[in-house]
Amino acid sequence: MSKRVLITGAAGFIGHHLVKSILEQTDWTIACLDRLDTSGMLSRLDDVLREDQTWPARVDVTWHDLKAPLNDMVRKSVGKCDYILHLAAGSHVDRSIEDPLSFVMDNVVGTCNLLDFAREHLGESLEKFLYFSTDEVFGPAPEGVAYKEWDRYNSGNPYSASKAGAEELCLAYANTYRMPIMITHTMNVFGIRQHPEKYIPMVIRKVLEGEKVTIHANKDCTQAGKRFYINTADVADAVLFILGHGGKGDKYNLVGERELDNLELAQMIASIMDKPLIYEMVDFHSSRPGHDLRYALDGSKMARMGWEPKKKVDERLAEVVAWTLAHPYWM
């Protein structure tokens, strides 16, 4: 029997890629929940649904802001779900520093409202509830350190603190109400249709236009910030893998194929585009308070379970650059 999955933040960057992967790889129906603010765009879902004429009939889109409980009409639109994938969140670090309470409302209160909906209206019919957390809950990672799933938190900004708070709330519901909750920590995600303010589309645009790229670095401007970048296609693949193989009440790190510093990444983009890179190294603490120079997660747990990214980051990056240049309105 076909499953039904609720995806919150379905019109967001990662959410719409999950919608596509589920439509491609399963026969499930999808309830999309989104409030369509700065990060949620119906045009993303429209692009996906145009790829196959049979897909629109399998997707329902409902507007809702999770700061409010799900009312009767929203619950009817969502229907009975086997899985919940909770991606909806405020995720802009700079805005969280300016307005911390709004992130508590979006990420903690919003998550609590969704948990209550699942507990009160889905009950035992709910098979899995997957909460998307972030590598940032662990704070900065010194060289040589990669955090495991159950390591301690050390949030460096209100955004990451709100994600950590929601994560703990999910565990509390799993422990108190025996809900089938799982958690992912995902590193920096990139792919097509990403918001143009994000690093990779921003670098593509600046290289194309011959502008200077700012590279956030250490105080001496000798070492650029480092991340394990992971493509949206691999994130979506990992989510489907976890739904099939993950255990209730457990956590999973989704980590890219290899670590890159942001200068190396910008140079790769410029090389793919066959254009020069004009850049400046800037002390990240003075230019972006609340941001950390290096994040790192240990992906060995997922590897032991049998999952790893399908392609190398170089291949994924080349695909994203080519697509973005062919669709310049996304820059």
Return the pLDDT at 1: 75
The catalytic residue positions are: 135-136, 159
Q: Where are the domains of the chain?
A: 4-189+228-254, 194-227+259-294+311-330
pTM, entire model? 0.95
User: To which residue do tokens 């585009």 refer?
Assistant: 273
Lowest mean per-residue pLDDT among 34-38, 230-234, 275-279: 34-38
CATH superfamily of 4-189+228-254: NAD(P)-binding Rossmann-like Domain (3.40.50.720)
Question: Does the domain at residues 194-227+259-294+311-330 carry the CATH identifier 3.30.160.20?
Answer: no
Residues 40-70 pLDDT 10s: 789 999 999 999 999 999 999 999 999 999 9
| pLDDT band (50, 70, 90) for residue 289 | low
Number of CB atoms found within 10 A of residue 51's CB: 10
Residue 276 has pLDDT above 60, yes or no: yes
Residues 152-195 pLDDT 10s: 999 999 999 999 999 999 999 999 999 999 999 999 999 999 99
